[in-house]
Amino acid sequence: MKISKIKNLFEGNNIKIILLYILPIAIIFSNALADILLVLTVLIYIFEKKFKFKIENFEYFLLLFFLIPIISSIINLDYNALIKSILYVRFFIFYLLFKDFLENNNKIFSKYLFIIFILVTADVLIQYFFYYDVFGFPKDGKRLSGPFNDEFIVATYLFLLFLFIFDLINKNNIYEFIIINLMIFTFIIIGERIILITFISVVGSYYIFNKFKFTFFYLVSVILFFILLFNVFNLQDFAENFFFRYYDFINHITNYKESVYYKLFLSSIFIIKENYLFGIGFDQFFSNCNLIIEKYSLQNVIFCSNHSHNYYLEILSETGIFALINFVILLLFIVLQLLNNFSFKSFYFFYFLFFIFPIKTYSSIYSQTDGLFFIITISFLAYKIKLNKPI
């Protein structure tokens, strides 16, 4: 009798839905807890579907994206990389279940995420103005982490939430204006330059093509808003920090060959040259980079990190040319689906276009957090494509 009750509990959607609602909060406070919740939802989904998954369109290329690292690890005879790459497949199953979840729960879930968005943004503002957030996490130099403590991913997290809440705020120009200005200001004080530039590019492109008459008013309003903000809060430190960081950013671009980004780029190139077919193996960048330095005496020429800090270079260096070709085809399929079901003026098109823009820095697509953010983005866009598909 007890076994029957447990079985019935897992056959329903209740536990899975509860876990998915907890997941956005778990991501903030604990990577381990978030991954446990993800694995539990995946196991429940597998139990429900009995391995009978429906895959269509670009999802075959998405599946290959998760299978190729396994092949690469086998070819490289790397047992640790093989285990990691097999576990990485959990994100594909999560993609399937999360897309199904959104089909029945997106409206309520988006409103729930909007509440989280407001609370996280408020926490970041408190940390900026009062040097500690509501959980007692201190302001760390010129960058803010908000409730994420020692992980500087709050800007990426808010940028992801914006994808879900856009439909909610887009219905009202006043709400839209307030939220967009709030995000710009928040991204500036957080100190994440790439996210700020990406966000402005997405929103700016959308406004130019869809609300051109409103764009001039919006730009003037933004300028007046920030002037008022500076005067009310006396944000001299903010202005100095902002201009220093972006002067430093421009300096990196104009003197690119002297920057750490260029040295990291070179390290990727050296690794790719020796392992361009199948890569060096899943999550093996740092160890191989150090071997390259010793082999060619490149101590002052290249820079080693945990990954390439670019999706395309990371995939090419760790899993090879076939993985990169498959990844590019996957992205092109999604772009075409967005164009077919929306238009080139669509917010979702611009979001994805700048999200996958090749010439920018990224976190590791093979990491737990960024891998999850990537697959959530793909899941949401797949849901929107299916929802908007012509009958």
Query: pLDDT tens across 364-389, in order?
Result: 898 889 999 999 999 999 999 987 66
116: left (phi over 0), alpha (psi -120 to 50) or beta: alpha
Rounded to the nearest integer, the mean pLDDT of the chain is: 83
Measured at the CA of 179, the angle between CA 177 and CA 183, to 5 degrees, comes to 115
Measure the CA–CA gap between 183 and 200, rounded to whole angstroms: 10
Number of C-beta neighbours around residue 172 at 10 A? 11
- The answer to whether position 142 is within a domain reads yes
pLDDT at 120 over 90: yes
Residues 121 and 238 in one domain: yes
Residues 170 and 293 in one domain: no
Residues 125 and 245 in one domain: yes
**pLDDT on residue 221:** 63
Number of C-beta neighbours around residue 177 at 10 A? 17
Stretch among 102-116, 155-169, 339-353 having the lowest mean pLDDT = 339-353
The single-letter code of the amino acid at 77 is L
Stretch among 28-42, 121-135, 206-220, 326-340 having the lowest mean pLDDT = 206-220
- The answer to whether position 38 is within a domain reads yes
- The answer to whether position 309 is within a domain reads yes
Highest mean pLDDT among 62-76, 166-180, 298-312: 62-76
Measure the CA–CA gap between 285 and 281, rounded to whole angstroms: 8
Helix, strand, coil percent values for the chain (each to nearest 5): 75, 0, 25
pLDDT tens digits for range 186-212? 988 888 888 988 998 898 888 888 876
Residues 287 and 233 in one domain: no
Measure the CA–CA gap between 137 and 148, rounded to whole angstroms: 8
Question: 78 to each of 30, 170, 275, 314, 365, how far by Cα in Å?
Answer: 29, 49, 14, 17, 20
- The answer to whether position 101 is within a domain reads no
pLDDT tens digits for range 246-259? 555 555 555 656 66
- The answer to whether position 302 is within a domain reads yes
Higher pLDDT, 104 or 1: 104
**pLDDT on residue 52:** 81
Residues 43 and 123 in one domain: no
Stretch among 163-172, 175-184, 229-238, 317-326 having the lowest mean pLDDT = 229-238
The structural domain count of the chain equals 3
Positive or negative, the CA dihedral 374, 376, 379, 384 is negative
Domain final residue, candidates 251, 286, 319? 251
What percentage of the chain carries pLDDT values higher than 70? 81
- At residue 1 the predicted structure's pLDDT band, cuts being 50, 70 and 90, is very low
Residues 243 and 302 in one domain: no
Residues 263 and 293 in one domain: yes
Closest CA to 318 of 328, 308, 327, 305: 308
Residues 261 and 334 in one domain: yes
List Cβ neighbours of 384 (8 Å cut-off, separation of 6 or more): 341, 342, 348
Residues 223 and 262 in one domain: no
**pLDDT on residue 197:** 87
Question: 180 to each of 98, 177, 187, 199, 203, how far by Cα in Å?
Answer: 27, 5, 10, 9, 8
Which structural domain range is residue 38 located in?
A: 1-53
For residue 346, give the DSSP letter.
-
- The answer to whether position 95 is within a domain reads no
Residues 118 and 145 in one domain: yes
Domain final residue, candidates 208, 231, 251? 251
Residues 76 and 122 in one domain: no
Residues 116 and 229 in one domain: yes
Measured at the CA of 371, the angle between CA 196 and CA 262, to 5 degrees, comes to 55
> Are residues 164 and 98 in contact, defined by beta-carbon separation less than 8 angstroms?
no
| H/E run at residue 319 | helix 311-319
pLDDT at 67 over 60: yes
- At residue 224 the predicted structure's pLDDT band, cuts being 50, 70 and 90, is low
**pLDDT on residue 391:** 41
- The answer to whether position 100 is within a domain reads no
Domain final residue, candidates 251, 269, 300? 251
**pLDDT on residue 192:** 82
- The answer to whether position 135 is within a domain reads yes
Question: 267 to each of 277, 309, 363, how far by Cα in Å?
Answer: 17, 11, 16
